[in-house]
Amino acid sequence: YFRSLEKLGILLNEPQIQAIRHFQGPLLTLAGAGSGKTSVLVCRTGYLISVRKVDPRNILLVTFSKKAADEMKERIAQLPGIDKSITENIQARTFHSFFLAILRKHGVLQDIIGETRYQHIVMKKILREMGLQDTYQPETLFSLLSAYKMQMVGVDQLPEKTEEEIELKQIISRYEEWKNKNNKIDFDDVLLRAYQLLQQKQSLLHSLQKRFLYVSVDEFQDTNMVQYELIKMIVNPLQNLMIVGDDDQTIYSFNGARNDFILNFAKVFPNAKTITLDINYRSTSSIVGLGNEIIKHNIKRKKKTLKATRKNGITPRYMSPKNSDDEAEKIVSHILREVESGKRRFSDIGILYRSSNNNRAILEQLIRNEIPFIEYGGDESFYDHWIVKPVLDHLRLAINRRDFEAIEGVLPTLYINREQGLQYILEQDSVQKKKWPLIHMLSLQEIKDFQKEKIMERLKCIKTFESMIPIDAIQHIRREFYDQFLETNKRHKLTHHKEIIRETLDELESSAKRFNTIEEFLSFITIVMEKRQEMKQQQKDKRKNAVQLMTIHKSKGLEFPVVFLISASEGNMPHSSVIDVERMEDLYVDFKEILKESSALEEERRLAYVAVTRAQEELFISSPMYYRGKKVEVSRFFMSAYPRYEANKRKADNRITKSEGTISPMYAKQETVYAWLCTNGSCNVWQRILSYEEAELKSKNCPVCKAPMEKGSKAILKRQGY
C-alpha cells in the first residue's frame, strides 16, 4: 500500500505511516498546521479499505464544511485501489448533514428554517409583541440561544436570576413555542434533537454503532459539546475513533467549540494512542517561523514547534497602505503584475480577512480591473447589509422620491411596520399620486403624533440631501437617526453589536468619500452589485482560474501558494470588541468577564495563526495606517515582525501584561494578571508572570513554602483613575 502511495508521489514520514497503520481503538493526532493531518486521515481511510478490507459502508468521516467533505472524497478517490463505487459508499459528511439525515429517516420531519432572514422576522414579531423591539437585536438573541444549545442547555434550563435573564428566557421560550406550533426546527436544533433521539431510541443508536465501525473526525479542535457527545455515543463500545486536529486552530468558540476537548482527549479515552506530527510540508520555513512566533504567546495550549521542510523562500512581506482603498489598489496591481508576467495564476492567490466586512474595497478593486474571483460565503453584498441598506435608501429617496423599495427600507427607521406601511402607501398612491408617496403615511389613522413629526422631519432632511455630497449626507443620517437608534439599544449587553454597526457604517463612509454626488455613488453601487451577481454565476465552475476571497474562519484546512492577509490592524485583529475597555466598563466588569476577555484574545491570536499558516510560498500582511478613518497601529500579533516597528520590538514582545487579560486601570477597578499560584492551600503566595520565557516554564516552587506552584490568573485591585 505504502509503495503504491509512493508511486503516486506521496512519500510519508514515520509518524504519518504509524497513524495510517493504526487499526483499532482510539487515536489522537494532535499536530500543528500543515503537518499532514488531513492527508493522514485520507490515506488511513484508503488503508482501511485496501489493506484491512474494511467495508467502505462502515466508515464515517466527519469534517466541518461541505467543501472540506467533498474535497476529502475527491482525495480518497485518487488513492490506489479505490474506485468510484467505493467512494460512493463512504460517508464523508458534516456533523450537521449527517445528523439531519438521521433525524429525517426517523420521523423528525419538521421544516428547517433555513433562511436566517425568516428567523429574524419571527423574532422581530415576538419582540414587537413584547414591546422590546428597541431593546434587543434578533442577531444577538440567536447567537445567545445557539451558544446555550451547543452547550446542551435546554430552554427550560436557561438561567433566570436577574431581571434581564428572565426577560431573555421569556423571549426565547416564545420563539421555541412558535417553532413547535408551526412545525419547524432551526439549524441549531438539529444536533440537540439528534442527541435526544439517540438517547431515547437505544435500538437506533445500536444500529448506528454497528454500521459505523470506523469513525474519523478532522478539525476536531472545533467540535462543540453536543457534537462531541454524539460522536462518543456512536463509537461505543469499540471506540474505533480517529481524531485529528490542532488546539492552536480553535477558532469557533462562539459556536461552542472548546479546545480542551482535544487537549483532554486522552483522559476521556484512556487507551488512546497519541501520534504527533511536527514537520510542516506546506509552507516555507520563514512562514512556519512566523506562525510559531505568533502562537507561542498563547498560554492555554499544548506547546509544539513545527519544523519546516521547504527551504527558506521569500520572507513574509509587510505592507502599510494608507487605508483599505489604497491597500486594495496595491494588492490588485501586484496581482496583475504577477499574473501578466506568467509567474502566477489567479487561482494561486488567496485573500483573507478577519470579517466579511473587511472586503468591500478589495472586491471593488477586483471588479474594476475585471479580475475573476470567488468569494466564499459572501452571500450578501456589503451594500445590502441590514445596517447599510436603510442608509442608502435615504440617499435613493433624495434622487427619486417615488422609489418604493427605498421607501420600504426607510419605514422601520420611522418606527413604522414595513409591510403594512408600504401596503398603505401603495393603496393610497393608486388613488391619488403624490410627489412624495411617503406623505400618505400622515393620513393613516393609527399613526401617532410623534411619528407624524418624524416623517415631516425626515422628508425635510432628505430634501437637503439633494445638494449634499454623499459623505455629508451619510454622516447626517448617522447623527440624526442611527446614533439615536443605537442609544435606545443601550440597555442590553450588545456592545459587540454596536461595535459592528459603527464599524460597518464607518466602512460605508470610506466608500462614499470618493464620490462627489449622490448619483455617482449610487450608480457605482449598482454596477458593483451587478458585477458581483455576474461573477457569482460564473463561480459555479470550481476549476475556474480565480482569486479566492474568504474570511479566516472559512480558510481553515485550506492552502494557497500566495496569501494576502488584509486589514491586519489593531481594532480589527484583535477585534475591538475583544479589547475595548469601554465595553468592559459597560459590562460592570467582574473577574469572570476579564478572564473571558483574555481567552477571547487568545482566540484572536489563533485566528492570526490560522491565517498565516495558509500560505505555501508567499505571504503578505497588510496593515492600513488609517482604518475606517482612524489612525491605527499594526496588529499586535505582527508588530514585532513589522519593519515600521523595528525599534519597538521590545515593546511588542513585552506586551504580555497589556494584551493578556488586563484592561486599562483608567477604567477598571480590577486587573487580572498571569501568575504563579502556590498550590499549598494554606499558603497564599503568588507571583506575577512577567515575561514569555517565564510563562513557558513548566514548573516552579513557592519561594515561601516550597510547594509546587501552578500557572493561573490573579485579580488585583487598582484604584480607579490611577
- Contact predicate 140/492, CB 8 Å: yes
> Which of 4, 6, 8, 11 is the binder for ligand ATP (CB under 6 A)?
11
Residue 46 labelled as part of a binding site: no
Question: Which of ligand ATP, Mg ion, none does residue 687 bind to, with CB < 5 to 8 Å depending on kind?
Answer: none
DSSP state string for 315-383: PPEEE--SSHHHHHHHHHHHHHHHHHTTS--GGGEEEEESSGGG-HHHHHHHHHTT--EEETT--S-GG
- Contact predicate 195/202, CB 8 Å: no
Neighbours of 657 (CB within 10 A): 16
> Which of 1, 2, 178, 281 is the binder for ligand ATP (CB under 6 A)?
281
Partners of 619 in beta bridges: 563
Residue 37 labelled as part of a binding site: yes
Closest CA to 669 of 578, 575, 581: 581
Name the segment binding Mg ion (CB under 5 A); options: 29-37, 357-365, 379-387, 481-489. 29-37
Question: Which of Mg ion, ligand ATP, none does residue 34 bind to, with CB < 5 to 8 Å depending on kind?
Answer: ligand ATP
Closest CB 178 distance from ligand ATP, rounded Å: 40
Pick 48 or 634: Cβ nearer ligand ATP: 48
Question: Which of ligand ATP, Mg ion, none does residue 75 bind to, with CB < 5 to 8 Å depending on kind?
Answer: none
- Contact predicate 612/619, CB 8 Å: yes
Pick 32 or 574: Cβ nearer ligand ATP: 32
Using CB under 6 A as the binding rule, whether residue 13 contacts ligand ATP is answered as yes
Secondary structure letter of residue 257 according to DSSP: B
- b/e map of 345-356 (b: 16 or more CB within 10 Å)? ebbbbbbbbbbb
Binding mask 237-276 for ligand ATP (x = CB under 6 A): ---------x--x---------------------------
Pick 218 or 408: Cβ nearer Mg ion: 218
Residue 641 labelled as part of a binding site: no
The Cα–Cα gap between 518 and 469 comes to: 6
Question: Which of Mg ion, ligand ATP, none does residue 158 bind to, with CB < 5 to 8 Å depending on kind?
Answer: none
What's at 261, amino acid-wise?
F
Pick 35 or 253: Cβ nearer ligand ATP: 35
Q: Which of residues 542-561 bind Mg ion (CB under 5 A)?
A: 557
Residue 31 labelled as part of a binding site: yes
Q: At 178, which helix (H) or strand (E)? A: helix 163-181
The Cα–Cα gap between 438 and 436 comes to: 5
State how far Cα 190 lies from the chain centre. Answer: 20
Pick 38 or 224: Cβ nearer Mg ion: 38
State how far Cα 594 lies from the chain centre. Answer: 21
Pick 227 or 249: Cβ nearer ligand ATP: 249
Using CB under 5 A as the binding rule, whether residue 38 contacts Mg ion is answered as yes
Residue 35 labelled as part of a binding site: yes
Binding mask 619-638 for ligand ATP (x = CB under 6 A): --------------------
- b/e map of 183-194 (b: 16 or more CB within 10 Å)? ebbbbbbbbbbb
Neighbours of 625 (CB within 10 A): 16
Using CB under 6 A as the binding rule, whether residue 8 contacts ligand ATP is answered as no
Pick 11 or 697: Cβ nearer ligand ATP: 11
Q: Which of residues 559-578 bind ligand ATP (CB under 6 A)?
A: 559
Residue 448 labelled as part of a binding site: no
Closest CB 41 distance from ligand ATP, rounded Å: 8
List contacts with ligand ATP (CB under 6 A). Answer: 11-13, 16, 33-39, 246, 249, 281-282, 557, 559
